[in-house]
Amino acid sequence: MNLRACVAISCLLLPALGRAQQANINLDWNPQKNTENLIPFSANLNSPDVRDDGTVTFKLKAPAAQRVTLGGVAILTALGKSGQPVPFTKGEDGIWTLTVGPLRPDMYIYSFDVDGVRIADPNNTVAGFTAMPPYSQLVVHGSGPAYYDARNVPHGLVTRHVYHSDVTNGERELYVYTPPGYDRGKTYPVLYLVGGSGDLPSNWVYDGRVNFMMDNLLAEGKVVPMVVAIPNNQVVHRNHPRHVELTFNLFEQELRKAVIPLVEREYSVRRDPRGRALSGLSMGGRHTMFVGFNSLDLFANFGVLSAGDVAAETAVAKFLNDPSVNQKIDYLFVGQGSEEAKGQMGNRVVALHDALVKHGITHEYYVGGYGGHDWATWRHLLYYRFLPNLWRKD
């Protein structure tokens, strides 16, 4: 082969480097676009295959299967098929195929049901990280990096702490985000951010992308530099018959005895209520209500995401009837997604909002985005409303 031919081949290959579907070379904003017709390492098919028009093709090689369907709250909501699994079509080669969309650019969780058995997509390298049964991530790209993607901006650090808890009598984990240029000579406000019923602390990093959103907001000058501590708010088995009765007291103890002392020992953060915030999604939103509202000696800022209580007036009566509550809180945010606001889940959020209005408690109520009770909503609420408004009075 002559030199000219070698150079020509090299020129053809170089643009493709790092662009194979699910190659995991870079933190790509379009990791599931099939640019080279190469399958992921150790997979037998390309799935999912995401096209620029937002359509997506899923494939599964299962010759002996009788029925395959697509499931997952987020993707079914986006497809307008809530609660209605979407069937695949089986080919003569034993490969099951389904094309859906177009979908809006976002990240969606999904799973397959194969003859009654729920599985993650075995060909998708973008796995879900959760305390629930397995699922996969679908990344539908737009024309460039989204607000939750890694961009070419200064990046903060995410540190995983493992510590012993006397409250739960075991070893637990805590993730802490520090902003770019974190300086121990300065003192930062701190947000304690928690997840939902099936979440682990890592979910706010891998599903919620809170670290990338903070990086991008800081680069855009839209947010106050802060430390974000992400503890595990699973303190009793989620299916325990006394979960509701036990969880709030235990989580409050965990915050007071373990989490906050660790963060304040290891990081240069404010130690006054106005310098702390507590926020969470779904079950974590209820922790924010029933623990945070009861702990005004610890917190003065709150973000209740996709949570509430149909009996809010009695459930948080002490908070609602505190005559000086507006002097004790700096910022109270209550938000949910536009799709979940249409259903029963949204009624709990509305009930909390109505109770706050009735008792004259200053707060921001927001319904936005296009998501349901899923990460599309929680990323949107944090990026566009909650994070930019924290500590703006200081």
Q: pLDDT, tens digit, for every residue of 1-60?
A: 444 444 333 343 434 444 557 877 888 999 999 888 888 888 889 999 999 999 999 999
Least confident of 37-46, 110-119, 189-198, 301-310: 37-46
Q: How far is CA 123 from CA 48, 109, 160, in A?
A: 8, 15, 29
Structure-block tokens of residue 46: 């390309």
Name the more confident of 256 and 82.
Answer: 256
Residue 99 scores a pLDDT above 90:
yes
Asked whether 21 and 35 are in contact (CB, 8 A), the reply is yes
Q: Kindly indicate the confidence band of residue 243, based on its pLDDT and cuts at 50, 70 and 90.
A: confident
Q: How far is CA 58 from CA 43, 113, 228, 276, in A?
A: 13, 13, 36, 44
Q: Whole-angstrom Cα distance, residue 300 to residue 240?
A: 31
Quote the Cα angle for 156-157-162, to 5°.
155
What does residue 316 show for φ and ψ, rounded to 5 degrees?
A: -125, 45
Q: Kindly indicate the confidence band of residue 394, based on its pLDDT and cuts at 50, 70 and 90.
A: low
Q: What is the pLDDT of residue 6?
A: 42
The torsion defined by the Cα of 140, 143, 148 and 153, in degrees rounded to 10, comes to: 150
What does residue 5 show for φ and ψ, rounded to 5 degrees?
A: -65, -40
CA dihedral sign of residues 219, 220, 224, 228: negative
Q: What is the pLDDT of residue 37?
A: 84
Tokens 């909002």 -> residue: 353
Q: What is the pLDDT of residue 131?
A: 57
Q: Which residues contact 383 (CB under 8 A, 6 or more apart)?
A: 147, 148, 213, 216, 217
Domains and CATH numbers, the chain: 18-140 (2.60.40.10), 157-389 (3.40.50.1820)
Alpha helix positions (H), 171-259: 203-206, 210-219, 243-254
Span 288-294, average pLDDT:
95
Mean pLDDT (the chain) is 90
Where does the chain show beta strands of DSSP type E?
49-50, 56-61, 68-71, 86-87, 89-90, 95-100, 106-114, 117-119, 136-140, 157-165, 170-178, 190-194, 227-231, 276-281, 301-305, 331-337, 364-368
Asked whether 121 and 48 are in contact (CB, 8 A), the reply is yes
Structure-block tokens of residue 9: 């081949």
> How crowded is residue 318: how many other Cβ atoms within 10 Å of its Cβ?
11
Q: Could you please report the per-residue DSSP string of 31-46? A: TT--SS--PPTT-SS-
CA dihedral sign of residues 118, 128, 124, 139: positive
Q: Whole-angstrom Cα distance, residue 370 to residue 167?
A: 39
Q: How far is CA 341 from CA 16, 106, 124, 152, in A?
A: 43, 19, 31, 35
Quote the Cα angle for 325-331-333, to 5°.
105
Q: What is the pLDDT of residue 2?
A: 47
For residue 24, the number of C-alpha atoms closer than 13 Å in the C-beta half-sphere is 7
Beta pairing partners, 269: 188
Q: Which residues contact 5 (CB under 8 A, 6 or more apart)?
A: none
Residue 119 scores a pLDDT above 80:
yes
Q: What is the pLDDT of residue 80?
A: 87
Q: What is the pLDDT of residue 242?
A: 77
Span 218-227, average pLDDT:
97
Q: Is the pTM of this model over 0.75?
A: yes
Length of the chain in terms of residues written: 394
Q: Identify the CA nearest to 262 among candidates 172, 188, 181.
A: 172
